[in-house]
Chains A and B, each alone.
Chain A
């Protein structure tokens, strides 16, 4: 048995860094993201959907049969409707896979402040998804416009076009962050994915199907529709969609609200 105090004989191998740890926690979350295959696959799928659909639509669109309502920018970005499945799932997995594998206990033993851990996940996942998806959106836009031909295509310098292309990256990140919030709240992959796509796909149907005018009027404010309106360049006359600016603010309120809501039980519950 060694006498207490023998610690002084041991040479410390490491010196504790001074200052905060948040930069380190961010780097740690980037390592977590890039070191599992599901991240790479889901992001690749998202890119393929965005770019592939852009090319497909650019190739098949008939320039002579498009009316004044045709939005060449939005059309070239239609891949987001499929890609959102990938980024939504990835957003859920960023946190739910930690719970399902037990990694969360190891993570919290290294970063015990739970809101700090969640904030690092939000920022790192959001940044990576936004950069990748925005890049994919630009590729989709330019390839589609080139294929459509000059008579109907949009230029990146036209009013609202660049905003819409960046908006596609925003929308996919937004869906991912909603998934991250739901994954944090529910902790279960399947439950969170079901809830996420229920909110995006089913809520608008319900709002439109109820024969009450003021309920129908709420539909554009739903999480999915409000986020999608960021991609609009040519406003359809018959559409009651929100303007891109309002849509952006409403969707931002949804995602910030969901993430704030998710932090409350995160700190209170046992991990």
Chain B
């Protein structure tokens, strides 16, 4: 369990993390999502006591990290796969970490085998590929068999095989009841691995929710309706304050009403429906919706490439989104 309360970090004039409060609970993969520069790494560094908060605090199992007597038994962290001495052999790197927490030396061989680095244990880590470095960092995180695991952008720069391996590892660790906290700026990745989501932008909490809540509550959720009496239905729906957009193929995209309500309304008026499909936006769309105003570095639109800077969003009929309607949002 990780508990952040009013966590704030200021670097000079820049507020990197702004009054952030959240809990990371056991038994889930909790995704820590936000655009680049949102303050994810700074928050993780504060959890580990590497950076000191300007205000607020964060507890790990009820204690500040620095007060844990054998921290590797409580928290395993992969903050940066390059945070190793390149001249040291993989086995010695893990050995010095194990020794510092009184972990038996044979555990080093176990974690090397677990991440598949046994054959290169004698290699100096400076010669490691990015994927091997990432595995070494994960081996180090698993040394103390900790209840809490924290990974900062673990799939960054990995090949597809490596990404799959990390995904399965995260799920396996959470299935054992551990607290798994993983940051990413890739929404698609979080859609595949995370159960719960903590979304931040410009250092502030935007949403503390689940993946399914976020996608269904997003303003982009719409229902595709096909009916032979589309015009009639359209008028009816209009009286219910639904927003209707007509597709090229004659189908209606209805926003603001649930599929069940649309079906009931059509039945009450004897209108046949040929199709009634709720369309949940992808997590990606929901995320962009949430963080529209929160990106640290807004990019310009490339001339002649309309829409490059913005992702393919929901149809223009969408009401103006705000951070408000997100279920479970704490602010």
Chain A interface residue bracket vs B: 35 or more
Contact between A31 and B92, CB atoms less than 8 A apart: yes
Say yes or no: A24 contacts B101, CB within 8 Å: yes
Q: Are B51 and A109 in contact (CB under 8 A)?
A: no
Interface residues of A in 1-17 (CB under 8 A from B): 1-10, 12-14, 16-17
Chain B hits for A97, CB < 8 A: 85
Whether B258 sits at the interface, judged by CB under 8 Å, is: no
Q: Is the CB of A24 within 8 A of B25?
A: no
In the complex, B48 has a CB within 8 A of chain A: yes
Contact of A35 with B65 in the complex, beta carbons under 8 Å:
no
B28 at the interface (CB under 8 A from A): yes
User: Would you list which residues of chain B between 233 and 261 have a CB under 8 Å from chain A?
Assistant: none
Contact partner, B83, options A6, A14, A102, A270, Cβ 8 Å: A102
Would B99 and A31 count as touching, CB distance under 8 A? yes
Contacts of A268 in B (CB 8 A): 52
A270 engages B51 (CB within 8 Å):
yes
Q: Which residue of A lies closest to B71 (CB)?
A: A112
Chain B binding surface SS class: loop
CB distance from A82 to the nearest CB of B (A): 24
Interface size bucket, B side?
35 or more
Which of B140-148, B263-271, B307-315 participates in binding chain A?
Answer: B140-148
Asked whether any CB of chain B lies closer than 8 Å to the CB of A106, the reply is yes
A1 to B28, Cβ gap below 8 A?
yes
B70: interface (CB < 8 Å): yes
Note all chain A residues with C-beta closer than 8 A to B97. Answer: 28, 106-107, 110
Residue of B nearest to A116 (CB): B100
Nearest residue (CB) in B for A12 is B145
The CA-CA distance from A107 to B72 in the complex, in Å, is: 11
Q: Are A21 and B101 in contact (CB under 8 A)?
A: yes
Alpha-carbon distance between A163 and B45 when the two chains are bound, in angstroms: 48
Q: Least Cβ distance of B322 to chain A in Å?
A: 29
Answer whether A4 and B177 are a contact pair too, CB < 8 Å, given A17-B70, A106-B84: yes
- A24-B100 in contact (CB<8A): yes
Task: Give Cα distance in the complex from A97 to B84, angstroms.
Answer: 10
Chain A: minimal CB distance from B185 (Å): 20
* A8 vs B99: C-alpha distance when bound (angstroms): 27
Q: Which of A36, A101, A105, A112 makes the CB contact (< 8 A) with B68?
A: A112
B103 within 8 A of A: yes
Cβ contact within 8 Å between B48 and A108: yes
Bound-state Cα–Cα, A103 to B80, Å: 9
- Measured between beta carbons, the chain A residues less than 8 angstroms from B101 are 17, 21, 24, 110-111
17 contacts between A and B (CB under 8 A): A1-B28, A7-B147, A8-B177, A9-B177, A10-B177, A14-B145, A20-B69, A25-B100, A29-B96, A31-B99, A37-B87, A102-B80, A103-B84, A106-B84, A108-B50, A110-B72, A112-B68
Given A17-B70, A109-B71, 20 other A-B residues pairs in contact with their CB atoms under 8 A: A2-B174, A4-B28, A7-B27, A21-B100, A24-B102, A28-B99, A31-B96, A31-B99, A32-B85, A35-B93, A98-B85, A105-B45, A110-B72, A111-B100, A112-B49, A112-B65, A270-B50, A270-B51, A270-B52, A271-B45
Lowest 5 CB-CB distances: which A-B pairs, in order? A7-B177, A6-B177, A35-B92, A102-B83, A28-B100
